Each structure stands twice: as structure tokens, then as C-alpha cells.
Structure 1
């Protein structure tokens, strides 16, 4: 409910701004806010490009970065979605969906414009990272006001957890971008609860799934609870809102799912990568010892040769992993705890940052990122307390960390799996920081007002008092 505005005197009416021409103060503040976001984005882009050219430029293109890079160029050339490794090594065209398509589809944009080199994709990935800063700012403003938006954007610009993956050309960049989007869409739905907002939420869910397959769990962790628990909304309308969100999401992912169902022997939907991921994470090497909770090629080397067709290979690896899990279920609690600890930086953190160098992450930057993470995690707990006291919905911010934790328990623990949850940590930390700053600024303003009033009163009674 807006506060009442006293009616102005008749002589002042002419001085009031018209509805078509808002007061300068009302225009200036949003403009200054956007200028602040733009300045922060420039800072974030500078950090990412410095990281790229100082640490990563001219490094070998291998592993997942090679996959995303080559898949983007193949897609831009109209060659579909083959296995780029197989095509490069043997020249054979083998249908593949090791990773969901969104990362390579986005990288195909510069490829279509003629920028097909790996450096071009690295720079474009940095620009996607800057896009995440913008969405973080908008989400922070929607959650707790403009100051929180700027604070969150500032953290997102400089915190290594938000940019370490960008110049590497990894799907974590797309995961971060889409997860900020779904957080923003969730708060928009919580505010308005309309069918357009439900459709927007469903579209964000589809983007998240097409970026990282394991994030499909957000359908159950975030979207269904958010819609079905909407207070003050009749159950029939809730069902309609949920149907709209689901239909929008299904329509958005249907082309990729249909494409996969048409080209593999076994049913595959978002990715053929689950089996190979499970195969390298469920064996003696990862259930105890130095690599507890991580992954090891020893797991695959102990298995017979898999089929060449990618869906059959996926099924083969999945069954091998399920068999091992059943035979060693007593180790699952310890393995799950180690995986969670690795992902959130509390189990052998210095060993984990050394293991991360296999993905070309500089050791020094990973260590800085780990220490910064610990600080943000503690501060983020304060953000949870602040939002709870304000009765602000917490589910949109907690859903992604919960989902990533569940996925980590299923597969393995590693630093980059946490990437999609970094925006939630950043936003919660920003809420706590701005709330603390507001509490500190209140007494300071009161003291400044008291001193000013005291000086004014003395100057009124003592003509010789300096003003």
C-alpha cells in the first residue's frame, strides 16, 4: 500500500512534474544504478580477459573445452551433433550427445559470424560471464533492493568462483547464466503468480536443463514446490500455472529430445553422458583412499570394452556402475559425504584445488577462490537469516545449492560442479552485507544528525560560535 501524499497548495500545482515527465530524482536514481552495473560489468570483463590472456592463452585445447568448441563449429556448419573426438581421430561420423547442447549452441553464434577459433569462443564465453553479472544485479535488486543488486554484481565481478570457468570454455559458464535466470524467474513468479510468469519460469527451467542435465532436478526441487505452495491462489489456478510451466519447458526441450530419440539405438533424452560419468566414479579407487569422492580412469580400465554406439555405451556403463553400487552400498554414506565436502570446499580442499589443475585451472587462482568461498559461505548464512526475518521467499535461492548437492552425491565431488550454485551464494552474501551496512549506517546517521543539530542550536544562542 503506497503512503498518502498530501494535496499540494494550488500555487504549487504548476511546479509539479506531469505523469509524462517524471521528477528528475526518480529518473536519476535508476539511471545511476544502471550506470553502476555497467561499470561493474566492465570491471568483470577486464578481470576475465586478463585471466584469459595472462594465464590461459595458447594453452592446448583438450577435454570438454575441445568438445564444446568443435561441436559449436560443426553445428554452425550444419553437420549436426557428432562426437568431435571420434571425427578428429578417425574421421568417422558417430552420433553423440555427451553433453547437453546449450553451451555449444551459444558458442555457435560467433562461429556463424566467422569467428570459429578457440580464442574467439573464449572471449565470447567471457561475455556470457558478464551477462551473469547483469542478471545477478537484477536478481539482487528484486530480492532486497538496489544496494543489494550492486553489491551482488560487485562480488560476481571479482569472485573467482564466478569467472574461473569462463575462458576455459566450459558448460559451467552457461550453467551459472541459466541458474541466475531461473532464480530471477522464480522471484518474478512468486511476486505476480501469473500465467506469463509461469511460462517464463518453465522456459528458464528448460534452459537450465539444456545447459547441465543434472539440473533437471530443479523441476522437483524448485518449480513444483514454488507453484503448488503459492499462498492465496486457488488449487485449480495452481494446477493451471504448473501445467503452463511444464508445457513451456517441454516445448523448449522437445526439439533436442526428439533429435536424440531419432538417432540412437537406446532412448536418450538430454545427454548420453550419465553412464560414462558414473563409470569413472564408482569403483575401488573412488570409494576409499586418496581419490575418495572424486573420479578415476582406473574405474573404466577395469571394465570390458564398451559398445561403440553411444546410447548402447551409455547403458553399458550405467549398468556396470549400478552393479558396483549395489555390491558396495555400505560405503555410500562415506562416499557421499566426501563428494559433498569436495564440492563445497570442506573436504581435502587443498588436494582438490591441485586435482582441479587437470582442467587447466591455475593453482594460485583456485586457492584464492577457495578461501573466498569459505568467507562467502559464512556470510551467506547471515543472508539466509536476514531473508527469513524479512519473510522473503528463500526457496529460489536455496533450490540450486540443494540440487547441486543431490547431483554431487550421485556422481562425484569437484569444484566446478558448484559453479551453478555460486550465484545463490553470492546473492545471499550480498543480502547479509547490505543488511549489516544498513544497520551500521543507521546509528552513524543518527549521531551525525545529533551533532549537526547541536551545533545549529549552539550557533543560534551563541553569536560567536563558529559555523
Structure 2
């Protein structure tokens, strides 16, 4: 168990957050202001102001261009709901929302530091916060006003709460993790897959009977449980196994119930205003329609998207849920006729997302979303360095018998979702926290080789090579 963080550690974390805010504001005012307000940023900006005014969730484009109120759920609500907070106090301009988005990105820097502490100790936490403060992949989307900012914030919280659950393994910890996954899904719908690929296996592999005894919410200090446990008869062992699985299933139910309850208000709202069922977003059909066509299955745009594809589909319905179904059926028809090409297309999509397939072309394509070429190029090279370090970090955590599942599940879910729709740099953003944390483990290990014995950043040295279930120590905060 990692000791209590020192005042110095908190001061350093605050310093890195200040640096992160400075970098984001510099990028905003040096590169992104004044901004050309269009596309998704316009949607999130207008939707936030409409929601703050109590006008519900219409299509902002229709309202702005045609003065028609058309119910819509093209994007999940978290990004605009967060941007509505400054709107409620009169900060309603696009620039106001850009600054607030930079503040949200800075908050993610702090959460990364806290998560790094839980993953591999205080030094790793500070390294993770430092990387998150300056690495372009963590801030390039903030002034753009895109859902990736809220997505990064949500997935950072998911990782922090996943490691918190692993240490404490209580019903409340499981429920909080479920709420965090719900927030991630309300930022980007595909992140609902974290419930299947992260929360479910994490809860089921947690073994409460092997954990040290507790006092309240904390683990007790002293002898590991294995050294104090009394021998059990066969019947006692069976009863223990049954009780263990009952507890695990109970925690899984708590996580699932909390996730469903957090999403329910948005889903119920959608079910009352659309003719077809929509639970998170009505945008899947549109996305599939622009990504499953001839120009995205071959040629220079292989694995990307092409808006001409959706323009070729005639007579779409006006009602948004019906339009979603209409475009989905058109896309599925094309997919069914081109099944043999899916492996090639999926590989290209994943490659584009992770900067491994036509990376410099992807940098140029990203300019359609107003990303500066120079910043994107620096971000791409930085990504390659961090991915190489992340592999080392994963090996180190494996050797220490530390928990790896959350840091692998997040990139895995993102990659799976990308292969199903299309590949682009910004899709990678919500998985950047996992890459940064794994890289931080490697960089912190390098640093430790040059640190005099007994000196550690912000607290006692972590029991890095002791399995999590055998670690004991002082109570942890943060």
C-alpha cells in the first residue's frame, strides 16, 4: 500500500496542472482563436446554450439554418451538458466554451497524477501528470470543442476508479466505477463497451477472500491475511468460494445498476421523443453511411470517411431516429456485399487511429477538423515515443505482478470501436490516458535508477514488486 502523499507531491501535481493549463491556453490563443465555428464544435456549442436555456435537445443545425425545432441525439450529451455549466452563468460565447474546455482538460491532468500513484507509486503519478500536461495528444482537442475532451476526462476517471476498486473491492467502489463508465458512454457512445471488457472481468477476477482484513473502508496494517488465516475444512473452503462468488456477483450488479441508472435519464428522454428506440445516440447510422462505401474500402481514403457516400443515399427521412435506421440499413447492405474486404478495411482503420498507417496523410486529413499540421506532426512523433515506452511499462507492471487490465482494456475497446466505424487521430484521444500511464511507468523506472536510495517523490517508496493482494501499509488518501 502506498503511503500518504506529501505536501511536496501535491505541490508538484498542482504545478503540472498549472503548466497543462498554460499549454492549453497558449494553444488556444496562439493557434485556435478566432475560430471558424462549424461542424461538431458548432453542434456542441449551440446545444450547450440551448440546454442551458431550457429548450431541451434539438438539432442545432436545423434550428440555426431553417428555424425548425427537430429533436436530435446525433451526439451523446455529456460534452454539451458540461459546456452548459458556464452558459448558466452567462459565459455563452464560443471562446468562453473553449476556455472552459481547456479547464476540463487540465482537470484530467490531475486525475492522471492520482491514477499514476495508484498504478505504480508517487513518482509515476507525477511523471504521468507531467506528460499529460504537455503531450499534444492530451490537449490538441481541447480548444477545438470536441467530445474528446470530455471523453479523456471520463476515461481518466474510469482508470482511477478501476484501480481504486482493485485496492478496496467494496460495493461502493464498484458502483462508482459503473457511474464513471456511464459518463464515458455519455461522452462517446462506443465507450459503453468498457462495461463488458473492463468492469466485468475486473470485478470477477477480484478475490475478496485473499485480501487483507479491513477496518472500515481501509485495509488493516500488519500481517497479511494469508499468514493469519486458519486452516479450513473442505466444507468451509466450499462455503468460502460460494461466498466469494456471491460477493463478486453482487459487486458486478452494483456496478451495472449504477451505470444503467446514470444513463437512464438520457435514454428515457430519448424514448419519449423519437419514433424508433434511441438510447445513447442517433448518430450511428450517419457514421456508418459515410464510412462504408467504395471510396473508404479502397484508394487513398481507405479506412477513413467520405461525406459523398452519404450524399449518394437518396431520400433519407427527416425524423432523426428513422434517419438513423435508414442509414444503418444502407450501410449494412453495403457491408454484406463486401464482406471479403472487411479485414483490410479494419486494419487500415486501426492503423490510422494509432498513427501506423499513412500517418502523414492522416495528419493532412485531420486539417478538415481544424487541427494545425505542425501540432499534429509533433503529436504523431510524440505518440510513437510514448507507445514504445508504454510497451516497456506494460512489461514492468507484468513483472511486478501489478494490475494491467484497465490499461490494456481501454486501448483495446477504442481499437475495436475504430475498426467498426473509421480510423482517425481524434478517436485515439480517449485511450491516450492509458498510453500515458504505461509510458510513465517506464520513465519513472528509468528515473529511479538515477535516484539515490531512500529518496522518492512525495511519499514512501511503493511496494512495487509485491502483488497487490499482499501489500499492506499506511492508509491512502486521494
TM-score, normalised relative to structure 2: 0.86
Which residue among 340, 350, 358 is the counterpart of 1:348?
358
Match of 1:59 among 35, 41, 59: 35
1:288 aligns with 2:298: yes
> How much has 1:232 moved relative to structure 2?
4.2
Query: CA–CA distance in 2 between the matches of 1:109 and 1:103?
Result: 11
1:127 and 1:443 map into 2 onto residues whose CA distance is 37
Report the counterpart of residue 139 of structure 1 in structure 2: 115
Q: Corresponding residue for 1:242? A: 252
Mapped contact 2:197–2:413 kept (Cα < 8 A): yes
1:113 aligned residue (85, 89, 103): 89
Whole-Å Cα distance in 1 between the matches of residues 450 and 20 of structure 2? Answer: 28
Equivalences for residues 370-449 of structure 1 within 5 A:
370-441=380-451
Determine the C-alpha separation between the residues in 1 that align with 2:378 and 2:92.
32
**CA offsets, 1:91-138, max 9 Å, x none?**
000000000000000000000000000000000000000000000000
Q: Which residue of 1 aligns with 2:167?
A: 191
Per-residue deviation, 1:444: 12
- Correspondence for 1:315 among 314, 321, 325: 325
CA separation in 1, counterparts of 2:164 and 2:313? 48
Of the two structures, which has the highest relative contact order with CA contacts closer than 8 Å and spacing of 6 or more? 2
Q: Which structure 2 residues correspond to residues 188-337 of structure 1 after superposition, within 5 A?
A: 188-233=164-209, 234-337=244-347
Aligned counterpart in structure 1 of residue 153 of structure 2, from 161, 166, 177: 177
Q: Structure 1 residue runs of 4+, over 4 Å off?
A: 442-445
Residue 442 of structure 1 and its aligned partner are, at CA, apart by 6.0
> Mind listing any 5+ residue stretches in structure 2 that lack a counterpart?
210-243, 456-478
Secondary structure (helix, strand or coil) at the match of 2:275 reads coil
User: Unpaired runs of 5+ in structure 1?
Assistant: 3-25, 446-467
Which range moves more in the overlay, 288-297 or 231-240?
231-240
Provide Cα deviations, 1:230-279, integer angstroms capped at 9, x if missing partner.
Answer: 12451111110011111111111110000000000000000000000000
Larger-gyration structure (1/2): 1
- 1:435 CA drift (Å): 1.0
Match of 1:122 among 98, 102, 111: 98
Are 2:111 and 1:101 equivalent residues in the alignment? no
Q: Which has the higher helix share?
A: 1
Aligned 8 A contact 2:169 2:208 in 1: no
Partners in 2 of 1:392 and 1:376 — Cα distance?
20
Residue in structure 1 matching 2:65, options 89, 105, 111: 89
Aligned residues: 421
Q: Which residue is equivalent to 1:9?
A: none
Superposition deviation, residue 56 in structure 1: 0.7
- Secondary structure, counterpart of 1:280 in structure 2: helix
Secondary structure of the 1:94 match is coil
Paired with 1:174 and 1:336, the residues of 2 have a C-alpha distance of: 26
Q: What is the distance in 2 between the residues matched to 1:231 and 1:433?
A: 31
Instruction: Give the secondary-structure state (helix, strand or coil) at the position aligned to 2:6.
Output: helix
2:348 to 334, 338, 344: 338
- For residue 291 of structure 2, give the secondary structure of its aligned residue in structure 1: coil
Corresponding residue SS for 1:286: helix
CA distance in structure 1 between the partners assigned to 2:165 and 2:20 by the alignment: 29
Distance 2:331 2:26 in 1: 41
Return the alpha-carbon distance in structure 2 between the equivalents of residues 298 and 211 of structure 1: 27
**Rounded Cα–Cα distance in structure 1 between residues aligned with 2:396 and 2:333:** 46
Report deviation, 1:305: 2.0
* 8 Å contact kept, 1:387–1:394: yes
Asked whether the equivalents of residues 285 and 298 of structure 1 are also in contact (C-alpha less than 8 Å), the reply is no
Offset at 1:439?
A: 2.8
Residues 389-411 of structure 1: CA distance to partner in whole angstroms, max 9, x if unpaired?
A: 11111011111100000000100
**Preserved contact between residue 151 and residue 184 of structure 2 (Cα < 8 Å):** yes
Q: CA deviation at 1:58?
A: 1.2
Inter-partner Cα distance in structure 1 for 2:35 and 2:101: 16
**Aligned partners of 1:213, 1:337: CA distance in 2, in Å?**
22
Once the two structures are TM-superposed, the CA of residue 188 in structure 1 deviates from its matched residue by 0.8
2:142 and 2:6 mapped to 1: Cα distance?
A: 29
Could you say if the C-alpha distance between residues 78 and 444 of structure 1 is closer, same or farther in structure 2, counting changes exceeding 3 Å? closer
Q: 1:74 aligns with which of 50, 53, 73?
A: 50
